[in-house]
Homo-oligomer: A and B are copies of this chain.
Amino acid sequence: MAFSEFRPLEENSLIEYIKATPSLSSKIGDNYDGLKIKEVGDGNLNFVYIVVAPSGSFVIKQALPYIRCIGESWPMTRERAYFEATALKAHGGLCPQHVPEVYHFDRTMSLIGMRYLEPPHIILRKGLIAGIEYPLLAEHMSDYMAKTLYYTSLLFRSTTEHKREVAEFCGNVELCRLTEQVVFSDPYKISEYNLWTSPYLDRDAEAVRGDNVLKIEVAELKSKFCERAQALIHGDLHTGSVMATCDSTQVIDPEFAFYGPMGFDIGAFIGNLILAFFAQDGHADQGNDRKIYKEWLLKTIEDTWNLFHQKFTALWDENKNGFGEAYLPAIYNNPELQKLVQEKYMKELFHDTLGFGAAKMIRRIVGVAHVEDFESIKEAGIRADCERQALELAKTLLKKRREFVSISEVTAAMKQV
C-alpha cells in the first residue's frame, strides 16, 4: 500500500499505514490482535493517535494543513511536522533522557511515529493544576535546556555547521510568524483573536495596549526573536509541552523549533511556572490552601534557573577547548577572562529569559490562546484576580528585567504581588 501523496489518516487507514511501515509494525511485533488506537490530540494543531498492542506501543502525530483548534480558516503548513521531527531527533540526540524517541518520519504524510509516553505520564500543566509536586522537574528541565541550547550554539559549534542549520530552520517561517503574531503583536493591539476575562480585565487589557514602555520593550524582544540565531530552540516550551511523572520528564511538540534566542525557551518554561503559581489561589479549597504547593513552585522556579546556569556553564567549561567558535581558546582561555565572559553571557541570557517569559505570560492573559491553569478556575472574578496578579508581575519583569540580578529577586517579587 502506497501513500504517495498526503491524506489525513483515520483509524482504519492508520492501521493500513502501520502495516505498510516496517519501522512502526516492528514496534508492535507485527501483531494486530488486541491493537487499540485512541485519538488524543488535545493540542491546538494536530491529530495524535496512541497505538497500543500487547507487544508494544507508539504514538502517531499527523499535521494537517490548518490549525486544528481554530479550523480550516487558519491555514498552517504541514511542513511543521518536518521541523518537529528534525528537532526531536536533534534534541533527542543531545538529551535522550528527556526527549521521546522518533521511530519513523514521513514527510509526504506529515507524520511522526514516536515513543508513547505511557501512564502515569501526564501533561505537566495538568499536574501543576492538580497540585502535584515533581521533585525532579527542575533538575530534568535544566538538564534538557542546558544541553539542547548549549550544544546547538556557537559556544559548541563551528559557524559552518551553525549557518547550515540556521538556513534549514528558516524554512519553519510560518510557525515563527504565528509566534510573532500571538506573542509579540496581537496582545498589544486590537485584534479579533484576543480574549480576556471580561469585564474584569477590560481595563488591564486596554492598559497593555496603551503602554508605550511595554511596547518598546516587546519590540526589542520581537527583533531578537526574528533576527538572532543563537541556538536551536524548542520554540514553544510551556508546561503543556512537557509530560511528566514523579521521576520522568519528557519534552514534546517542538514544531515551532528554529534557530532563535535561548531566552525564549527558558522564559517560556519559567513564565508558565509563574502562571501556574498565580493560578494556585484559584485552585485552593478548604482541603488544600495550596500554600505549600506555592512554595514548591517558587523553589522549582529558582532551581530551574540556578541549575540551568550551573549546567550550562559547566558544559561551557568542559568544552572550552573544543570546536566552538564564539570564544576561541587562544583568545579567551585564561581563567579570569573566561569568568568575565561567562558572567556577561549569562547576565544577558537571564534578562532575555525574564523578558521572553514575561511576554509569554502576558499573551496567555490578554491574547488568543489561554492556559488551563487559569481557564479551569470557574469563578470569573477569582480567575481575573489571579490573572491580574500574573499580568502585573509580567509587566514589571518585561519593563525592568535588566534590574533583576538573580532569580531569587524574581520569586521575591512574585511573593510581594
| A327 adjacent to chain B (CB < 8 Å) | yes
Q: Which of A286-344 contact B (CB under 8 A)?
A: 325-328, 330-332, 336-337, 340-341, 344
Q: Which of B170, B216, B328, B337 contacts A344 (CB 8 A)?
A: B216
Q: Are B164 and A226 in contact (CB under 8 A)?
A: no
| A160 adjacent to chain B (CB < 8 Å) | yes
In the complex, identify which listed stretch (A5-13, A80-88, A173-181, A395-403) lies at the interface while the others stay far away.
A173-181
| A215 adjacent to chain B (CB < 8 Å) | yes
In whole angstroms, how far apart are the Cα atoms of A357 and B328 in the complex? 22
* Residue on B nearest A191 in the bound complex, by CB: B330
Q: Are A212 and B337 in contact (CB under 8 A)?
A: yes
| A38 adjacent to chain B (CB < 8 Å) | no
In whole angstroms, how far apart are the Cα atoms of A171 and B163 in the complex? 7
In the complex, identify which listed stretch (A58-66, A182-190, A263-271) lies at the interface while the others stay far away.
A182-190
Residues of chain B contacted by A176 (CB below 8 angstroms): 159, 163
Nearest Cβ on chain B to A212's Cβ, whole angstroms = 5
* Residue on B nearest A165 in the bound complex, by CB: B170
Q: Which of B171, B212, B325, B341 contacts A180 (CB 8 A)?
A: B325
Q: Are B173 and A164 in contact (CB under 8 A)?
A: yes
Q: Are B227 and A330 in contact (CB under 8 A)?
A: no
In whole angstroms, how far apart are the Cα atoms of A326 and B212 in the complex? 15
Q: Are B189 and A177 in contact (CB under 8 A)?
A: no
Q: Are A190 and B330 in contact (CB under 8 A)?
A: yes
Residues of chain B contacted by A332 (CB below 8 angstroms): 215, 219
Q: Which of B173, B212, B230 contacts A227 (CB 8 A)?
A: B230
| A228 adjacent to chain B (CB < 8 Å) | yes
| A243 adjacent to chain B (CB < 8 Å) | no
| A223 adjacent to chain B (CB < 8 Å) | yes
| A40 adjacent to chain B (CB < 8 Å) | no
Residues of chain B contacted by A327 (CB below 8 angstroms): 219
In whole angstroms, how far apart are the Cα atoms of A160 and B163 in the complex? 18
| A207 adjacent to chain B (CB < 8 Å) | no
| A99 adjacent to chain B (CB < 8 Å) | no
* Known contacts A159-B177, A162-B226; A185/B215 CB under 8 A: no
In whole angstroms, how far apart are the Cα atoms of A171 and B176 in the complex? 21
Residues of chain B contacted by A160 (CB below 8 angstroms): 173-174, 177
A-B contacts, 7 of them at CB < 8 A, read A159-B180, A167-B168, A167-B170, A170-B170, A185-B328, A219-B332, A219-B341
List residues of A whose CB falls within 8 A of some B CB.
Answer: 154, 159-160, 162-164, 166-168, 170-171, 173-174, 176-177, 180, 185, 188-190, 212, 215-216, 219-220, 222-223, 226-230, 325-328, 330-332, 336-337, 340-341, 344
